[in-house]
Amino acid sequence: MEKIALSKMDIPRRAQHFLECDIEECKRNCEFYCNPCYQRLCKQCSDEHLKSPESKNHEVVLYQQRKRQLLAEKCKIHPTKDVDMLCEECQVPVCSKCVTQQNHRGHIFTDLETIYAEKYADFQQEIFKIQEYFLPISQDLQKEIKKDSSEMKHIMDNIRTSMKTEGETLKSLVDTVISENMKQLDQIENSLLEDLNTQDMTMDAYITYLNNLVKELHRCLSSSEPQELMSEKKPKIQSIPETTKPVTPEFTAGQYNKSDVTKLLGKIQVPTTKAEKREIRPIKSVYNTAMKPTHKQMKEDRKKSDKKQTLSLSASVTKVREFNIPGVRNVYHVSKDQSDILWISDGLGNLVQLDLQGNVIHKIKTSDGRGCHTVTQDGDLIFTDKYNSVINRITQDNNITEFIKTGIWRPLSIHSSHINGDLLVGMKKDDEAKVTRYNKTGKELQNIQRDNKGQGLNNTPYYITENINGDICTSDLYNEVVVMNKSGHDRFSYTGQKSGFRPYGICTDVLGHILVCDGFSDTVHLLDQDGQFLSLLITKQQGVKTPRSVCVDDENNLYLGQGDTNTLTVYKYLQ
């Protein structure tokens, strides 16, 4: 049985060799956790827990992904009620009874455990940054300083050897000059060594500071009460001290002329060049380096490409996994990059970045959540702001910049082409709609405002994607999917199989299939690239209620988000 490593927070009062299930008389290894019940569960007990009518809808997750339980705190206004929510507008903790009060009417409330989980993740992220970036960089710089010190001494020894050789040849004439030169060289060496020793001590103090900061953050995570942790400010990590490389002197050999002893023996060149600052790699460069494909990865990519040629639809759709997304009310749009990072947005404009374990990395507010973001080939996130008519870029170090201004047109949806990296943007102005193509630098390349018959686009492109043949596919939330070729000429439109078709999220896969969510029948429709209906890929029988977003990644996993829950479900439908 696999043992679970425990942090200080997890260590029970009595010693045990692994974390045990909380169910009475069950002593098996704990692998899961029920967030509503605050119970540790083994595999068998978790299955039984989800089969029970009383707990079948409970949120059971892996133990490592559990929500940290808050200690009960009574509401000051309603002493019989526990504080369990935060009013986003007032920024005060409240109980369920406070929610009904006049002064909180219409406000948005967030689960305190969710906020605590986000705060916990923030501190974990700071520890990660220190351990994976600041400490390694500082230790490398210190090694470089020590290496420079050794090399500098070696250079000085070589200069001494040259000087002694010169002196021995004309020893009777140069004793005085050698003495002066040696003294000057010693002074330079002492000055340089003193500077390097100072740098070494500075880096040593800074590394001690980083180690102490990590200990302090661990202390906060392990010993602080949850409410105290939420009040703790995330520490600002001091910048890595600047250091300089030593500039060593040069020795100019003298000419053997008895009349000019000083010139014969040469002289020390006092350094005049300004010390060069040692390079400190930015965090972004570390991430970029980590993302560069290795030879092995490239070979695996080729194998995946060969495998795509033999893919086909499976006889049935298989659910792979399901997890909740902290920080969003529902899942209206999903974007995924090649490094297993997901971006999720909801109907309120909350946009969160998280890994495949469900850990939140970053969270921002946007103007909308429908089709409003995409990940570029470089791994940057591009998202629209329809109210300010701006398209923004978030780089991998989470810097947000204005990328494109769209003037009087409101950008609604966006997609980064997997074919050439172009950006396809669905826009709206009054009763007019269009699709604009930009290149990677934001230069406008194409405007599609009318079809090949001269008619204006009559749908509102809330979601947009591109197929493997270059077709542009849009959905309008009301009645149809419109597909154009890359020149902007109509290919076909799709209005469902029966009345009441309401298309939401849309995507394509490696075989050219078009997948679109139908909010009316609570299904996902599967079309071929010519618009021919193939099947209802996912239906209510799979537990889907309000499908809103679909996304297929490079491993042919289908991510499905819904409008009535913050659950993201992953399926396999290709074999």
Contact 267, 250 (CB under 8 A): no
Q: What is the secondary structure of 492-532 as a DSSP string?
A: EEE--SSS---EEEEEE-TT--EEEEETTTTEEEEE-TTS-
Structure tokens, 482:
């419109």
CA angle 32, 34, 36 (to 5 degrees): 165
Identify whether 72 is part of a domain: no
Identify whether 550 is part of a domain: yes
Number of domains, the chain: 3
For residue range 277-296, what is the model confidence (pLDDT) as tens digits? 888 877 654 444 333 343 34
C-alpha span between 267 and 166 (Å, rounded)? 11
Would you place residue 270 in the very low, low, confident or very high pLDDT band (cuts 50, 70, 90)? confident
C-alpha span between 276 and 297 (Å, rounded)? 37
Identify whether 109 is part of a domain: no
Picking from 280, 314, 334, the residue at the C-terminal end of a domain is 280
C-alpha span between 417 and 464 (Å, rounded)? 11
**Phi then psi for 399, rounded to 5 degrees?**
-90, 130
Q: What is the secondary structure of 319-341 as a DSSP string?
A: EEEEEE-TT-SS--EEEE-TTSE
Burial class (CB in 10 A: 0-12, 13-18, 19+), 460: middle
Least confident among 27-36, 244-253, 288-297: 288-297
Please report, for the domain that includes residue 565, its CATH number: 2.120.10.30
Q: Please state the rounded mean pLDDT for residues 245-260.
A: 72
C-alpha span between 66 and 335 (Å, rounded)? 24
- Strand, coil or helix: what is 114? helix
- Strand, coil or helix: what is 50? helix
Identify whether 103 is part of a domain: no
Percentage with pLDDT > 70 across the chain: 87
Identify whether 93 is part of a domain: no
Residue 273 sits in the same domain as residue 371: no
Average pLDDT of the chain is: 83
Residue 390 sits in the same domain as residue 481: yes
Would you place residue 451 in the very low, low, confident or very high pLDDT band (cuts 50, 70, 90)? low
- Strand, coil or helix: what is 256? coil
Residue 333 sits in the same domain as residue 454: yes
Residue 276 sits in the same domain as residue 309: no
Residue 412 sits in the same domain as residue 354: yes
Contact 23, 41 (CB under 8 A): yes
Provide the residue count of the chain.
575
- Number of other CB atoms surrounding residue 558 within 10 Å: 23
Residue 249 sits in the same domain as residue 316: no
Contact 464, 424 (CB under 8 A): yes
Q: Please state the rounded mean pLDDT for residues 284-313.
A: 47
For residue range 98-117, what is the model confidence (pLDDT) as tens digits? 888 888 888 888 888 878 87
Residue 264 sits in the same domain as residue 322: no
Please report, for the domain that includes residue 34, its CATH number: 3.30.160
Residue 257 sits in the same domain as residue 315: no
Identify whether 293 is part of a domain: no
Percentage with pLDDT > 90 across the chain: 33
Question: If you compute the radius of gyration of the chain from its CA atoms, what whole number of angstroms results?
Answer: 32
Identify whether 78 is part of a domain: no
Identify whether 523 is part of a domain: yes
Residue 377 sits in the same domain as residue 266: no
Residue 52 sits in the same domain as residue 173: no
pLDDT at 298: 38
Residue 84 neighbours by CB under 8 Å, 6+ apart: 70, 95, 96, 111, 112, 113
Which whole-number Å values give the CA distances from 526 to 181, 332, 349, 516, 537, in the listed order?
Answer: 85, 19, 28, 7, 6
Would you place residue 65 in the very low, low, confident or very high pLDDT band (cuts 50, 70, 90)? confident
Q: What is the 3-state secondary structure (H, E, C) of 378-428?
A: CCCEEEEECCCCEEEEECCCCCEEEEEECCCCEEEEEEECCCCCCEEEEEE
More confident residue, 516 or 355: 516
Residue 452 sits in the same domain as residue 354: yes
Residue 377 sits in the same domain as residue 462: yes
C-alpha span between 239 and 237 (Å, rounded)? 6
DSSP E strands, 2-68: 32-34, 39-41, 60-62
- Number of other CB atoms surrounding residue 95 within 10 Å: 20
**In which domain, by residue range, is 175 found?**
114-280
pLDDT at 255: 55
Distance of CA 24 to the CA centre of its chain: 40
